[in-house]
Amino acid sequence: MLDIFRKAGQENSNNKFYQFWRQDNRPIEIYSPKVVHQKLNYLHNNPVKARIVDSPECYLYSSARNYFSDEKGLLDIELLI
C-alpha cells in the first residue's frame, strides 16, 4: 500500500512523500434517496475495487458492515437508508 501512496505523492507537487486522499474537490449535491444510495454504494465498494478486500463489509473501516450484515463497524453510525 505504501508504494501506491508514494507513487501518488510523487505525481503531485503538493506532496513531499505520500498522498492518501485525492486533492481535487468536486462536490455533488445529494438531492434524493436514490443519489444517497448510489454514493453509499460507491464508497462501500472502493476497498473492493482497490482489491483490499473481497466484499465491502469485510473492510474494517467501512460502514458497509452496518448496512449489509449483522456486524457493526468501528464507529457508531446513523443509517441513511
**Contact at 8 Å (CB) between 57 and 64?**
yes
57 burial level (CB within 10 Å; 0-12, 13-18, 19+): buried
Domain positions in the chain are 1-25, 31-81
Residue range 27-62, pLDDT digits in tens? 788 899 999 999 999 999 999 999 999 999 999 888
**Contact at 8 Å (CB) between 48 and 56?**
yes
**Contact at 8 Å (CB) between 53 and 59?**
yes
Residue range 4-15, pLDDT digits in tens? 878 877 777 777
- pTM, to two decimals: 0.63
Residue with more model confidence, 26 or 74: 74
Amino acid letter, 42:
Y
